[in-house]
Amino acid sequence: MVVGITSNTSDQANSLVEALLLNPRASIRQISSQLNLKYNYVRRLLRKLFSRKHLVPVLALSSSIFGREAAIIRIKSSNPSSIEKISDLALHCNRVISYVEISNGREAMVIVVGESKQKTIKLIELIRSIVNDVVEISAEYGILPRGTLVLVKNTCSKCNYSSTCGNNSKFTFPVNNRNHYSSL
């Protein structure tokens, strides 16, 4: 269910999302006729979903481009604010596939990807340097399945992990500037 939209509108929003999942390239006119809704209503509903970030257009690339070497990292810290620093990296780094905070913010699990095991280890070292009070860190290595898609979160294609802000400054996620989407 799409949060923040009335019940009737929510059902229509869910139908709209289902129609987009079936055909992401469909025009508003096609979707409106398929759902038996007015063109302007579908257009307004799409704008509402985009502005509330319930629907976000993203670019995803194959793991063959980013590399298939992956690691699941578990980090424990005595200070929850240290773990929160990793979330910023997770939101903006193309090499971080997933991030989860657990144990009341004292632990984090991060799934990262790299072209080689050495580059994956370099990213793990960067994550380790971000967290001040590391109690324990463990990593399990593996390979992503072929065809796995990795979300592109910033425009830095040649990120060398040297910092968390210098390389990850231009985000590809849309910014709500009155219906304009752009990089920051």
Beta bridge partners of 62: 149
Query: Could you read off the pLDDT of 108-164 as tens digits, one per residue?
Result: 999 999 888 998 888 888 888 888 788 899 999 999 998 888 888 877 766 555 444
Query: Could you read off the pLDDT of 31-49 as tens digits, one per residue?
Result: 999 999 999 999 999 999 9
Domain CATH number, residue 112? 3.30.70.920
113/71 Cα distance (integer angstroms): 7
Domain CATH number, residue 23? 1.10.10
Our count of domains for the chain comes to: 2
Within 63-149, residue ranges assigned H as helices are 63-66, 80-92, 117-130
- Quote the domain boundaries for residue 74: 61-151
Are residues 71 and 111 located together in one domain of the fold?
Answer: yes
